[in-house]
Amino acid sequence: EPTVRAELMEQVPHIAMFCQENRPSIPYAFSKYLLPIVVRYLADQNNQVRKTSQAALLVLLEQELIERYDVETKVCPVLIDLTAPDSNDDVKTEAVAIMCKMASMVGKDITERLVLPRFCEMCCDCRMFHVRKVCAANFGDICSVVGQQATEEMLLPRFFQLCSDNVWGVRKACAECFMAVSCATSQEVRRTKLSTLFINLISDPSRWVRQAAFQSLGPFISTFANPSSSGQYFKEE
């Protein structure tokens, strides 16, 4: 019964906390019994069960209740499988969103090794614009986690593609995260590459894209400021 599975997922973070507090007596209980259920339900046929398992997984990561080894061996491989080309459309879109949200929680190393290659593939998913839109919406977050080198070498070419996507919603998502992408690049890249790209978005045929770009104009300009000379810098609260 799906409602039973969904209800179970809502209790998992509480049980995980109990396992953590009583670790000496039950050291492997969460890793061995509960985590496999959470990741299995990420591909459940029922939408509500998937949603509750996704929420549970993010809470577990946020509270640092999942061991790093388990993230690498139990969570990431499942998400990689769920974002494979032949995966169910809804499941794939949801799995991409989870991968993006967990990046800041698992850190640079795991994101760069395990998440980034698949994320780059998903940015070019020609069949599903929903997947590209999720990638575009979370692009800035991925850039801020992996840092300047990976951003400039691996992510920027994908960002250029997404900024000229044939679906306006994807371009709008790019405009909204432009400042975060800019923060992850060098001053030279901002000046020579991102400025031209931003002008294209401000001149976009879609008024929704133009509106989003104009709202990002101030934050984007602020990334050009030199804090040492101006005493100003942009800090995202």
- The answer as to whether 50 is a domain residue is no
Return the pLDDT at 57. Answer: 95
**Which amino acid makes up residue 67?**
E
The percent of residues in the chain predicted with pLDDT above 70, rounded, is 95
Return the pLDDT at 182. Answer: 94
- The answer as to whether 177 is a domain residue is yes
pLDDT tens string 110-136: 999 999 999 999 998 878 889 999 999
User: And the tokens for 106?
Assistant: 């698992």
Q: Which is it for the CA torsion 199, 167, 94, 114, positive or negative?
A: negative
Give the confidence band of 24 by pLDDT, cuts at 50, 70, 90. confident
Q: How many domains does the chain have?
A: 1
Q: What is the CATH number of the domain that holds 123?
A: 1.25.10.10
DSSP 98-133: HHHHHHHHH-HHHIIIIIHHHHHHHHT-SS-HHHHH
- The answer as to whether 59 is a domain residue is no
- The answer as to whether 48 is a domain residue is no
Distant-in-sequence, close-in-space partners of 115: CB < 8 Å, separation ≥ 6: 76, 79, 99, 102, 103, 106, 142
**3-class state of residue 176 by DSSP:** helix
pLDDT tens string 36-51: 999 999 999 999 999 9
Give the confidence band of 231 by pLDDT, cuts at 50, 70, 90. low
- The answer as to whether 52 is a domain residue is no
- The answer as to whether 37 is a domain residue is no
pLDDT at 225 over 60: yes
- The answer as to whether 170 is a domain residue is yes
pTM greater than 0.95 (yes/no) = no
pLDDT at 234 over 70: no
- The answer as to whether 120 is a domain residue is yes
Q: Which domain holds residue 191?
A: 104-224
Q: How far apart are CA 101 and CA 86, in angstroms?
A: 23
Return the pLDDT at 36. Answer: 94
